[in-house]
Amino acid sequence: MSHSRFFALRQPLPRSTSLVVGLVLPAVVLGAWCIASYGGLAPPDFLPSPSETVRGTLQLFIEYDLARAIWVSTQRILIAFLLASAIALPLGVLMGAFEPVNRLFEPIVAPLRYMPISAFIPLLILWFGIYEKQKVAFLFLGVFVYLLPVVVSAIRAVPDELVQTALTLGATRLQVIRTILLPAALPEIFDSFRVMNAILWTYVILAEGVNAQGGLGYMVDLAYRHQKASWSFAGLLVIGGIGLLTDLLIRSVSGILFGWREKST
């Protein structure tokens, strides 16, 4: 492949080339990890070797029921995401479609995006305690403040010509929202779920760090208390793997639901 074609602007690579390029950095990182750990450049309690990390992962699965911890964290993330979507989607549609609604909620919602979510943990403990409600509330807040503006922007990005044409043909405002704004904005909103998924898997460790009694946050806390670097690596790799799998799932569903976008471009 020529140099100019390899670096062509916004052009996809052939599948085989893309696969090779995608494996370069993981291979470099894995190689450096092996050299540093097996070569004795870093002590095991500072940087565990890949085999020690695999052993730690199996130990967590067998002795500490890591599978159940994954399920507990997944449940919390699903509940928080569904709650956030149930509020952010209709509110975002109304804020994007009607300026008075936007002006009413924007002064309250906008500052939340610039506040560190972790700073809300003491307040959430005060309001919801240290058990399940606090963890779900933290995850809900973490994803809600990012999902809402995405919905508003997606509704506003729908070409005004479509709206005006529908109104000229006699459609009511509710019909325009249902048949024009929502169908046109849904692909972008659904794509944002990938970012929300990443945010949730990042925040779940913080949420479960309070009174850690279950979930992946508990596993990370366990690794800290036992001073086991291999367990910490295992927990991070498991979270990263789950994040990649769920991201692949969202992309696949998006491709099925909105495959017409690629055909129309």
Model confidence pLDDT, tens digit, residues 190-200: 999 999 999 99
Average pLDDT over residues 13-22: 88
Query: What is the structure's pLDDT at 82?
Result: 96
Question: Which pTM value belongs to this model?
Answer: 0.84
If pLDDT is split at 50, 70 and 90, which confidence band does 208 have?
Answer: confident
Average pLDDT over residues 129-141: 91
DSSP state of 27: H
CA–CA distances in Å: residue 227 to residues 37, 46, 220, 232: 17, 10, 10, 9
3-state class of 212 per DSSP? coil
Give yes or no for residue 265 having a pLDDT over 70: no
Query: What is the structure's pLDDT at 11?
Result: 83
Structure tokens at 165: 């044409």
Give yes or no for residue 219 having a pLDDT over 90: no
